């Protein structure tokens, strides 16, 4: 059975919990995601721990954002850990994105457009011309032109971004919540089924799975719902 196109966000309090969660969900999902907090606490060891014997794809979500030379060095440093995906902020500009792509040729560079925690009011306050769809579309086009082969956007912008960049670019969507789940600190959210229908390729899901009493069962249930809703 093919693993579901889900990246489980391993936002765990410690390395042992992250590795346990990864082991439980790996039979059902294609990818596990290591975020900034876990990586800052445990460093490169976390990648080997969550990858385990399964060899599951690791999405290293560091959202690098600095001058091109610094991002180049950082991307080169983590590329030796063989992450499948590494994030950078699209707002860092085309030279920065290109630097990451060139420094980590065996890792897919995913440009983060607009964080899912930001509302329209937030965008206006930080000076990013909106509405969110327009800001995301501009950053998506800029990123792909600079060499990014993946983009991170909320489910609300997936259809717009797909129309902008066409096929062949991986669209990764955080802010995915199964029906009935709390949105927590995410603002622009959708169900897994809707996000895939709109054109997403990889769904980032964290607390609805890892906050469950049985993360493996929760991952299996979401994977099964996606199979039922997919093309027959």
Residue 232, pLDDT score: 38
Query: What DSSP string runs through 81-96?
Result: T--SEEEEEGGG-HHH
Residue-wise pLDDT for 195-228, tens only, equals 898 899 999 999 999 999 999 999 999 999 888 8
pLDDT band at 183 (very low <50, low <70, confident <90, very high): very low
Whether 7 shows a pLDDT value over 80: the answer reads: yes
Q: In 3-state terms, what secondary structure has residue 119?
A: coil
Cα separations (Å) of 16 from 19, 37, 106, 149?
5, 15, 28, 32
Reduced to 3 states (helix: H, G, I; strand: E, B; else coil), residue 200 is: coil
Which residues are part of the catalytic machinery?
63
Q: How far apart are CA 48 and CA 195, in angstroms?
A: 30
Distance between CA atoms of residues 19 and 197, nearest Å:
31
pLDDT-wise least confident of 19-23, 144-148, 173-177: 173-177
């Amino acid at each position: 059975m093919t693993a579901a196109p889900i990246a489980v966000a391993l936002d765990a309090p410690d390395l042992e919990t992250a590795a346990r969660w990864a082991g439980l969900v790996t039979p059902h999902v294609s990818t596990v995601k290591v975020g900034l907090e876990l990586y800052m606490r445990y460093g490169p060891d976390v990648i080997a721990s969550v990858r385990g014997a399964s060899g599951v794809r690791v999405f290293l979500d560091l959202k690098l954002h600095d001058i091109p030379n610094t991002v180049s060095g950082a991307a080169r440093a983590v590329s030796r850990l063989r992450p499948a995906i590494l994030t950078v902020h699209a707002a860092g500009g085309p030279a920065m994105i290109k630097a990451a792509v060139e420094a980590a040729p065996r890792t897919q560079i995913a440009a983060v457009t607009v964080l899912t925690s930001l509302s329209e009011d937030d965008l206006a306050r930080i000076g990013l011309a909106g509405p969110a769809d327009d800001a995301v579309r501009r950053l998506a086009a800029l990123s792909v032109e600079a060499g990014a082969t993946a983009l991170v956007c909320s489910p609300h912008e997936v259809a717009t971004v797909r129309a902008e960049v066409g096929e062949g670019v991986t669209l990764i969507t955080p802010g995915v919540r199964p029906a009935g789940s709390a949105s927590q600190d995410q603002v622009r959210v959708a169900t897994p089924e809707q996000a895939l229908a709109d054109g997403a390729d990889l769904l980032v899901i964290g607390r609805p799975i890892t906050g469950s009493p049985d993360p493996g069962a929760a991952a299996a249930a979401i994977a099964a719902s996606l199979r039922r809703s997919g093309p027959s």
